[in-house]
Amino acid sequence: MEISERRAAITGIGQSEVGRRLGRDPLELTLDACLAAIEDAGLTRDDIDGLSTYPGAMAGQPGFTGAGVMEVHDALRLELEWWNGGMETSGQLGSVINACMAVACGFAKHVLCFRSVWEATAQGKGGRGPIGGGAGAAGGKFRASGPMIEFTLPFRAYSAANWVAMFAQRHFHEFGTTREQLAQIALNARKNAALNPNAIYRDPMSMDDYFAARMISTPFCLFDCDVPVDGATAFIVSRAETAADLRRPPIRVEAVGSALRGRPSWDQFDDLTTMALRDASAMLWERSDLSPSDVDVAELYDGFSFITLAWIEALGFCKRGEGGAFIEGGQRIALEGELPLNTHGGQLSAGRLHGYGFLHEACVQLWGEAGARQVSGSPQVALAAAGGGPLAGCLLLTAD
Amino acid sequence: MSEKPFRVLPRVTPQNQHFWCGGAEGKLQFLRCGPCGSYVHPPAPVCGKCLSKDLTPTAVSGRATVATFTLNHQPWVPAADHPYVVAIVEIEEQPDVRLMTNIVGCPPEAVHIGMAVAVEFEEHEDVWIPVFAPVDA
């Protein structure tokens, strides 16, 4: 089997200002990240011949997307050979995986990938909103239809917090996982965020603080839920043989995972203790001779804390059901531990850049540019994974 | 039943009408495949197991088991009854047919995985929302 994604490399990264309620034009934030990534790679916009994003332009959920492919294409007057945007792909990083395919197939040489959000500003002072607006802006006349919401919203399950909480609860039931164990995802993120000047929440958090937080949807308290922000992240995915001429040593794509072998559903998936990430993880290791013990740093999606635990199990850092014991005490997942995890603070403390933040941090760590939070010993292999429920995509990356 | 909470209602279509409106006759209904007998949910034009199009809305017993649940505390929309229980139940006839639903008729703290429950319906405009209450032991 040819592992075609090895024809792809990440050659540049960029990030806009990230913060709570910046009140800035989301397209401008997006372009800031895109231009930073182009410059970081040592390219100009004339070199960009592909464009990819998640989820692209969409209506009805303010803040969830800051720009679509066409807006960025036009604002930068790009000349494209290939472009792609949409939500029906293997999670947020599906857009990057698609870019890897595009360069591997020779459709494009340098694909600009971006993801932007402005959820903090969109939510204003009202806090986190329900999916689809819940009550609906249309005077309560909104009717739920379509696979994601027809069978959730009528049952008052307004948020992915509810949906993911039920997976966590089932995991607790089957394997004896506890809130004390799950708390380590949040505590570890906060500890790392203290070392990241761009993180949102940097004050220390104790186990007592965690247990004092208000409940959102059992077993999740506030600190199990990520923090909405405004900001954008971008990458340049280049055809590997062009990468040698660029500014940075390329980051190699060793393998990707995009599989969804179970039913694409929050409630009909065959195993309620795991999610699509089980399948994406399996596919990734089927495509590489490396193994979990080779991974020097892991950046695993934490839209809700339990999703990270599920990724840890699915990726084989421990056995199924043993994730709680694996993270207990937090030593294994600490910066100096055997599996440094979410080294920037994750979405729980560094902000919900929605998947792209994990890949960004994986690159920063492989380039050795993480400053106070740099994993020691020059990490050579990193895992970046994003998505929960039926959405999941992951990339195994190696330093050149 | 106490005062009905606000609900976002589903859009009723010819394809899902048997499910959302079956409660008018006190029936929890799913599409059932003629050739292989399996229940198909959510509604689809073909059976996911054998691909037959011979599907007929069929009432089930309404008995189910709680597969998992959560107590929702967060006021996503205004409501007087926080925390309320969101659950996924498995229907007695075919456990891999699951419903996200609410558990009513007991204190939220009493709900547990494995709990035996039975359907009841909450009427809202033109739909009957299937919720579940504990079956007395």
B16 touches chain A (CB under 8 A): yes
Report which residue type is found at A45: R
Flag if B16 and A155 touch (Cβ within 8 Å).
no
How does pLDDT run across A272-301, given as a tens digit for each residue? 999 999 999 999 999 999 999 999 999 999
Range of the domain at B91: 17-134
B41-65 mean pLDDT? 98
Residues of chain A contacting residue B96, judged by C-beta atoms under 8 Å apart: 268, 270
B6 in a structural domain: no
How does pLDDT run across B97-136, given as a tens digit for each residue? 999 999 999 999 999 999 999 999 999 999 999 999 999 7
How does pLDDT run across A199-231, given as a tens digit for each residue? 999 999 999 999 999 999 999 999 999 999 999
- Backbone phi and psi for residue B108, each to the nearest 5 degrees, phi listed first: -55, -35
Flag if B10 and A266 touch (Cβ within 8 Å).
no
B88 in a structural domain: yes
- Backbone phi and psi for residue A364, each to the nearest 5 degrees, phi listed first: -55, -45
B8 in a structural domain: no
Residues of chain A contacting residue B77, judged by C-beta atoms under 8 Å apart: 130, 134-135, 158
Q: Output helix, strand, coil percentages for chain B, rounded to the nearest 5.
A: 10, 45, 45
Handedness of CA A50, A55, A57, A63 (dihedral sign): negative
B5 in a structural domain: no
A185 contacts A308 by C-beta, under 8 angstroms: yes
A282 touches chain B (CB under 8 A): no
A136 touches chain B (CB under 8 A): yes
Which pTM does this prediction carry?
0.97
B59 in a structural domain: yes
B67 touches chain A (CB under 8 A): yes
B129 touches chain A (CB under 8 A): yes
Residues of chain B contacting residue A142, judged by C-beta atoms under 8 Å apart: 8
pLDDT tier for residue A32 given thresholds of 50, 70 and 90: very high
Cβ-based neighbour number of residue A385 at 10 Å:
30
- Backbone phi and psi for residue A183, each to the nearest 5 degrees, phi listed first: -55, -30
DSSP A81-127: SEEEE-SSSSSTTHHHHHHHHHHHTTS-SEEEEEEEEEHHHHHGGG-
B9 in a structural domain: no
Number of domains in chain B: 1
- B44-63 residues touching A, CB cutoff 8 A: none
Output the six-digit token pair for A306.
């339990």
Query: Which one of A144, A217, A270 has the shortest CB-CB distance to B11?
Result: A144
The mean predicted confidence, pLDDT, of chain A is 95
Q: What pLDDT sits at residue A140?
A: 62
Flag if B113 and A136 touch (Cβ within 8 Å).
no
B12 in a structural domain: no
Set out the domains of chain A in order of their start, with CATH numbers: 4-123+227-399 (3.40.47.10)
A52 contacts A111 by C-beta, under 8 angstroms: yes
Rounded to a whole number, what is the largest CA-CA distance in chain A? 58
